[in-house]
Structure 1
Amino acid sequence: MSEDSEKEDYSDRTISDEDESDEDMFMKFVSEDLHRCALLTADSFGDPFFPRTTQILLEYQLGRWVPRLREPRDLYGVSSSGPLSPTRWPYHCEVIDEKVQHIDWTPSCPEPVYIPTGLETEPLYPDSKEATVVYLAEDAYKEPCFVYSRVGGNRTPLKQPVDYRDNTLMFEARFESGNLQKVVKVAEYEYQLTVRPDLFTNKHTQWYYFQVTNMRAGIVYRFTIVNFTKPASLYSRGMRPLFYSEKEAKAHHIGWQRIGDQIKYYRNNPGQDGQHYFSLTWTFQFPHNKDTCYFAHCYPYTYTNLQEYLSGINNDPVRSKFCKIRVLCHTLARNMVYILTITTPLKNSDSRKRKAVILTARVHPGETNSSWIMKGFLDYILGHSSDAQLLRDTFIFKVVPMLNPDGVIVGNYRCSLAGRDLNRNYTSLLKESFPSVWYTRNMVHRLMEKREVILYCDLHGHSRKENIFMYGCDGSDRSKTLYLQQRIFPLMLSKNCPDKFSFSACKFNVQKSKEGTGRVVMWKMGIRNSFTMEATFCGSTLGNKRGTHFSTKDLESMGYHFCDSLLDYCDPDRTKYYRCLKELEEMERHITLEKVFEDSDTPVIDITLDVESRELTFLLR
C-alpha cells in the first residue's frame, strides 16, 4: 500500500465530530456472539409477530423458539480468542521486530540511595570530529508534526548504526517506550548519550530507556546523558539509574535494580542554541559478558503491558463480571484509550444511589510510576477480599489507566503526538487534537448528570521531590468546611501509609498555569475531592523507608492504601473522619496563629481572641 493510500485510509477512520458519546462505539477487534446451538435473529425469522431487529436472538429450546436480548457488544479491543490490538506508530518511526519483556521482581531489601563521596567527576565533552557515533536515530525529525500512523512504524529495512566490532558497546532503543537519540564513543569505555526530545517538540528530555549489548564483565564503563533541561533533579538527592540484565533474570530471577557509582547531576556546556543543559553521569560494571541489558529512568510500563493486563481481566470469568472494559476513544495514531467500569452489577433500585470514583493515569508517558500505582489499585479492587467486595458494592469506579498511549509507545516524557501536554488541555474544545482528555471530561460530565462523583484522582510521577503526596484545590473562598474537608482524604492516606505518603508535602491551590489540568477542571465541574497524586521517581524520607528507593511493590501498595483510605473516608462510623477533621482544625489554627505572630506586635491574648472571632465568622458564612 502506498503512503498516499495509507493516509487516505487513516483519514476515513478518524473519530466522527457527531459522536458525542463518552465511549467510542467503534472497535476493530470484536468477539462475535456466536452460539453452537441453532440461533437466529428476529430479523431473519419469518414470523410477522416478531419485530424486525437484530437485537433479539431466538434460541430453539424444547421444541420452541425462545426470544432473548442480544448481549451488549463488547467494545474491548481484545477478543477472548484473538490477538491484542496491534500497536500503531507514527509512520516514520523505526521499530525493531524483537519484543522486549522484563520479569517482575522485588529486591529482598530496600535499595539505598546513593551517598555522594565528593570525588565524583563532571565530564564535559566539547564537539570532536574524532569521536565515533555508535548510535543515531534520525527518524524522529523527518516530520514537523504528526501525519499518520501504521502498525510497526517505518517499513524500510532498519539501519544498523555499528557492527559488532572490537569492544564497542551496541545500543538500541527502537522498541516500545524506548528513548535514545544518539550515542558517541568518547573513550574506550566511555559513552556520551543524548536522549530524544518528545516527538514534534524540542524539549522534555527526561525519560530514557535503552538496550546495551556486546559488553565485557568487570570493566568500569562510564555513561553520561548530556541534554537534560531541568536544573533540579532527584539524581542530585541520591537517586540511582535502573538496570536490567537478561542473564541475571534467567539465571537468578533478578529484575530491575538500582545501580551506579560516581553518580552526578550537573550543569554542562551551553548547547548550540545558547541554552544550558544538564548532564547525568554514572559508572557501572556489567555482571556478565555478552549480555543483553537495559537502563531506564523509572520502571517501564508499556502500552503492551497494559493490554496484556486488561486481556487477563477480560478472559477471567470472575473479574470480567464486575469489570467491564470499553474503548473510550482513539488517539491520534488510532491506538485505543481504554476505560474500565468496576462495580457489582447494579439492580434497578440502587442504580442511582451508588456514588462514583474516577481514577486516571499516564497522561504524562514518562511517569511510569503512575502505572504501577494504577496496577496496584486494580489488583486490589478486582480481588477477592471482603473490603474489595464492599468497595464494589458501594461505588462505581470509572478508570482510565493510560490517557496517553501514543506518548507511551514512542517513548515521550510529557507530550502526546500533538506535541502538547495533555494535562494542560482539559479545557480545550479540540476533540480531534486531544481526544483522550476531551472524552474523559465528557465522560465525567455525563456521569455527574446521573450520580454524585465523590472523588477524582489523576496519578502522576514527580522528578524533584521524594515521597508520595497530593495536590488539591483551595476551597478557602467558599467555606471553612469545604476548605478542611478536601484535606481529609490526603490526611487519612498519610495515616494509612506513613512511610510513603507525606501530608506535609501536599499543596492545595489553583495556579493560573494549572487551570487546564484534570484536577482543576474536575474541581470546577463540582467534584469537591479532586486530586493529583504525585509519586516520586526516587524513594522515601519517612519512617523505616527513609533513604531508600521505591520498588514496584511499594508503588503498587499505594493502590491498596488508596482503597483503604476510601473505605475510611466513607465509613458510616464517622469516628476517623471527625478525628481527622479535628486534627486539621488544630493545624489550621496553629498556621493562622503563626502568620499573625509574624505580622503583628499585638499581645498574644488579643491575637487568640481575634483568631477565634474570625474562625466563628468563617463558620457562619
Structure 2
Amino acid sequence: MILFSLTTFSMFKKKKTIDDPYESLILQHLKHYGLFAGRTIAFCTIFSFNAEKYLRTKQLLIDFQGGRPIPRLKEPLDLFTIPSTSSPFQGVRWPVECKVICDKIRHIEWDPPEPEPFYQQTGFERTPMPAGKERGNTVYCIDSAAEAPYFTRSRVGGGREPKRNSASCTNNQETSSLSFESRFESGNLQKAVQVGLYDYELTLRHDMYTTKHTQWFYFRVRNMKAGVTYRFTIINLMKSSSLYEAGMRPLLYSELAAWLKGEGWCRDGSNIRYYRNLCENEGTALYSLTWTMQFPYENDTCYLAHCYPYTYSDLQHYLRGVISDSVRAAYCKVRVLCRSLAGNAVYVLTITAPGATWKERRNKQAVVVTARVHPGETNGSWMMQGFLDFLLGDSLDARLLRETFVFKVVPMLNPDGVVVGNYRCSLAGCDLNRNYRTLLRDSFPCVWYTRNMVKKLVAEREVVLYCDFHGHSRKNNVFMYGCNDHKDASLQLQERIFPLMMSKNAQDKFSFRSCKFRMQRSKEGTGRIVMWRLGIRNSYTMESTFGGSTLGSRKGTHFSMGDLKSMGYHFCDTLLDFCDPDQTKAEHCLAELEALLRQQIRQKLGRDVDSLEGLFDVDLESSTSGSNSTESDGLPAHLINCADQKKHLRSRKERNRLRQQQEQSAVSKILHKNIKNTVSPVCPTCSKHHKHLHSHFCISTENLYLMKLEEKCVLMPCVNPRDKNSGNLCLSLQSDTASLLCQSSSTLCSSTQASEHKME
C-alpha cells in the first residue's frame, strides 16, 4: 500500500493546485498513512521529491531506484554516547563524598629501549618502623571521616572541592617539603607524614566502604629537589608477601622527561624492602614497603605507581577512536551492557565481520573476553588493549578471526572501582569476582549482566572460549587458571591445550608450569568457574604479573607496556592455532601433556603408571590463590549497614530468661527494703568471726544470699540452694571482693566477683 501510494504521488508533475475531488480523496488517503503533510504538489516533482520530509516517522529512509521509491529502515542509534571534550555533562561519575581536582591527568605511552632489570638486594636495606604523626609533620591528609558507610549517590566530577586545598596540611612551597596529591582518577593516597628531612611515611586509602585491600598505589609528587635522595615508606599494606621481595621496583613518571625526551613510565628505586611492621588493622598484621629514589629534575611534576595506570577515561578515549574510524566501526559495534552503581557505563564490544547471509552469521562460534574486574590490576587493561589492537587491525590473521568468530568483549567490568582507586572491590564493598552467581542485580550489576549476556550467547551459538584478564601480585610471568573436568574421561587434558599453546607462542613470558586447573570451593563465585558451569568448556583467567619474567632471554627483567600488550597479540595467535581445522598442533600438545602428567604422577606416587585412567584426580597442584580474599566478602555494604540498624528479635527462650532475671532483681529490691541495720560480729551461718567485717550477716532466700559490708550489701547466688542450712557454705568478704568456699568433698570453689548494691 505504501509503495502504491508513493508511486501515485510521484505522478504529479505539473505545478498546479488540486481541485479534483478524486485527487483530494487520494491526498487524504496519503496523509492518513503519513506520506503527505498537506503541502501542494507544486513543491514536488519526481526529481525533487523528498518523502522523508513529509513522513511522520523518522525510522524510514526513502531511496529511489529508477524513479521508484524504495523505503528502508534506519540503522539503530547507539545506546550511549562516548563523552567528548566539548560536553561537560558526560564525564566520569564519582561518589559525592569524593573530592576531585580539576586537573586532567594524561600520560604518554612509551617502552624503554632495553628491558629494565629487577632490583638486587644487598642485605643492608633499612626497615624503618612507623613513626606516626606524633613524631612527624602531616603534609597531606584526606579526611576519612567524611566517607559514608556505604555508597548513596554519585555526581559527575565528584564532590565540589573548595578553593582552599583542604588536603594539604602545610604550605609546602615555604617549608620545602614535598607536595602530594591523589584526588584524581585511580589515585588512592590517604595521608603523607614527613618524619625526616627527606623521609616520608605514606598511608594508602582502603577500598571504599571497606577496611581492607591495600596494594595498589598511585599519587602525584611536586616541589622536589634534584639530586636529593628521598625515602618513601608505605606503612599499611596487607599482603604477607609481595613481588617487591623478588626484585620488583616501583614506577616513576616525570612530566619534564616526557616533554623533553619523550620518556614515559620507568622503573626506579633502590634500597627496596617489603617487611612486617608493628602495626595491626582489626587484628590483622600490616606490612611496609620502603624504597629510596632521586628525582631527575627540580620542581618537576612526577607520579609514582604500583603498575602502569589505565583509567576509565583512558578506555573512553580508546573507544572514541574506534567508533570515529569508519573502517573499524564497520565490524566493531560498541554498546552499553549496563550501568554501574555510580552510573558509569559498562561497555561491551561486538566484533565480527559482516556475514553475507543470515545463516553464515548464525553459524559463527563465539569468544568472550573480559578484563578489569579487579580495578587495581591495570596490567589486565594493557593486555586487553593489545588484544583489541590486533583484532581490529588489518592483518590477515585479524581478518580470519573476525570472519570465523563473534567476539563479545567487556574491556572494563568494574569502572567504579577504577575511578576511585580501589584495588579489588566495587562500590558495593565486595569483590565482584566472588559474586558471579549473585541474584542481587542492583548491587552487582556489572557481573550480573555479564553472566546474563553469556548465558544468552551460549543458548544462541557455541562459545569456544572464555577468558578474563587479571594481574597477579605474588608470582612472576604470565600464566592461566583453568577448570579441570574429572567426570568426563574423554575430555581429560583438553583444557590444558590452549595454555600450552600460549607457552609456545610466548616462550619468554608465559609459564605453563605456573598454570593451575583446580576448581576450589572458595573460587566457585569466580567468572572462570561460573562460565564453565554455563557450558563453556575452555574457561580461563589469564594472570599477568606486576613484576616481570624469569624465562629465557627476558629472565630477571620487568614487563613494559609493550610486553603486556604483546600478550594480547599472542592470545589471538593462539586462538587461531587452537581452532585450526588441521588439528596437528593440538594432537602434539595433547601427547606432550600426557607425558608431562606421567612425570608428575611418577614424582607424586614414586612409581611409573601404565595408564592415566583413574589418576586424573591425583592432587598435583597447589592453591591458585593470589590474594587474601576469602570465599565471599559477604553482603554489600549498604545491606550490612541496614542489618546493623534492624531491631534484633529475641527468641522465646531468651525472653523467658530475661523475665526470670527481672523477677530475681525484684526480689533483691524487696530484701533491701526489709533489711535492718543489725551488727553481728559472728556469722549466723558459719558461726565464725571475720576480721574484715564491720557489720555482717547472712540472709537466705530461694537462691540468694545478701551480706552487708561497710554500709553496702553484697548479693550473691547460693551455691547449693537446696541445702542452704547444711553448714557447708562459708562466705568471706574482704574489701569489695566476695569468695565462695565450698568445703563439701574437700573441694575448694571460687565464684565470680559479686555485685554490690548500696543500701536504700
TM-score of Structure 1 vs Structure 2, range by shorter chain: 0.7 to 0.9
Per-residue deviation, residues 297-355 of structure 1 (Å, max 9, x unmatched): 00000000000000000000100000000000000000000000000012212122110
Contact 2:253 2:266 in 1 (8 A): yes
Q: 1:42 to 1:542 in 2, by over 3 A?
A: farther
> What is the CA distance between 1:140 and its match in structure 2?
7.0
> What is the CA distance between 1:585 and its match in structure 2?
1.4
Match of 1:67 in 2: 71
Match of 1:442 in 2: 452
SS at match of 1:129: helix
State the structure with more CA Rg: 2
Give distance in 2, aligned partners of 1:588 and 1:261.
42
Contact 1:208 1:296 in 2 (8 A): yes
> What is the CA distance between 1:68 and its match in structure 2?
1.3
Match of 1:454 in 2: 464
> What is the CA distance between 1:57 and its match in structure 2?
2.7
Q: 1:51 to 1:590 in 2, by over 3 A?
A: farther
- Of 106, 110, 116, the residue aligned with 2:111 is 106
Match of 1:38 in 2: none
Paired residues for 1:313-462 under 5 Å: 313-346=322-355, 347-462=357-472
Paired residues for 1:24-35 under 5 Å: none
> What is the CA distance between 1:61 and its match in structure 2?
8.0
Contact 1:92 1:139 in 2 (8 A): no
> What is the CA distance between 1:263 and its match in structure 2?
0.4
Give distance in 2, aligned partners of 1:144 and 1:138.
14
Q: 1:574 to 1:82 in 2, by over 3 A?
A: farther
Total equivalences in the alignment: 569
- Which structure 1 residue ranges, 5 or more long, are not aligned? 1-40, 598-603
Larger mean Cα displacement after TM superposition, 235-244 or 470-479? 470-479
Match of 1:553 in 2: 562
SS at match of 1:199: coil
Structure 1 residue 45 and structure 2 residue 35: aligned? yes
- Of 97, 101, 119, the residue aligned with 1:96 is 101
Paired residues for 1:213-252 under 5 Å: 213-252=222-261
SS at match of 1:89: strand
Contact 1:359 1:399 in 2 (8 A): yes
SS at match of 1:372: helix
> What is the CA distance between 1:166 and its match in structure 2?
2.5
Aligned partner letter, 2:194:
K
SS at match of 2:189: coil
SS at match of 2:130: coil
SS at match of 2:513: coil
> What is the CA distance between 1:83 and its match in structure 2?
4.2
Aligned partner letter, 1:58:
I
> What is the CA distance between 1:219 and its match in structure 2?
0.5
Q: 1:42 to 1:414 in 2, by over 3 A?
A: farther
Match of 2:482 in 1: 472
Match of 1:133 in 2: 138
Give distance in 2, aligned partners of 1:207 and 1:428.
26
Structure 1 residue 86 and structure 2 residue 95: aligned? no
Contact 1:470 1:490 in 2 (8 A): yes
SS at match of 1:507: coil
SS at match of 1:299: coil
Give distance in 2, aligned partners of 1:256 and 1:300.
10
Paired residues for 1:496-575 under 5 Å: 496-575=505-584
Contact 2:506 2:570 in 1 (8 A): yes
> What is the CA distance between 1:67 and its match in structure 2?
1.5
> What is the CA distance between 1:236 and its match in structure 2?
0.5
Q: 1:284 to 1:525 in 2, by over 3 A?
A: same
Contact 1:43 1:54 in 2 (8 A): no
Give distance in 1, aligned partners of 2:199 and 2:525.
43
- Which structure 2 residue ranges, 5 or more long, are not aligned? 1-30, 39-50, 619-760
Give distance in 2, aligned partners of 1:530 and 1:225.
37
Aligned partner letter, 2:225:
R
> What is the CA distance between 1:46 and its match in structure 2?
3.6
Q: Which runs of 4+ in 1 moved over 6 A?
A: 47-52, 60-64, 79-82
- Of 146, 152, 155, the residue aligned with 2:151 is 146
Identity %, equivalent residues: 56
Give distance in 2, aligned partners of 1:457 and 1:444.
12
Contact 1:43 1:53 in 2 (8 A): no
Contact 2:392 2:398 in 1 (8 A): yes
Per-residue deviation, residues 229-278 of structure 1 (Å, max 9, x unmatched): 00000000000000000000000111000000100000001236443210
Per-residue deviation, residues 486-517 of structure 1 (Å, max 9, x unmatched): 10000000000010000000000111110000
Give distance in 1, aligned partners of 2:135 and 2:248.
33
Structure 1 residue 190 and structure 2 residue 196: aligned? no
- Of 273, 279, 287, the residue aligned with 1:264 is 273
Match of 1:30 in 2: none
Give distance in 1, aligned partners of 2:274 and 2:33.
69
Paired residues for 1:172-211 under 5 Å: 172-211=181-220
Contact 2:473 2:546 in 1 (8 A): yes
Q: RMSD between aligned alpha carbons?
A: 2.5
Per-residue deviation, residues 207-237 of structure 1 (Å, max 9, x unmatched): 1000000000001100000000000000000
SS at match of 2:97: coil
Match of 2:263 in 1: 254
Please, what TM-score do these two structures have when normalized by structure 1?
A: 0.88
Per-residue deviation, residues 12-41 of structure 1 (Å, max 9, x unmatched): xxxxxxxxxxxxxxxxxxxxxxxxxxxxx9
Contact 2:354 2:361 in 1 (8 A): no
Contact 1:467 1:501 in 2 (8 A): yes
Per-residue deviation, residues 162-188 of structure 1 (Å, max 9, x unmatched): 322231000000001111000000011
Aligned partner letter, 1:45:
L
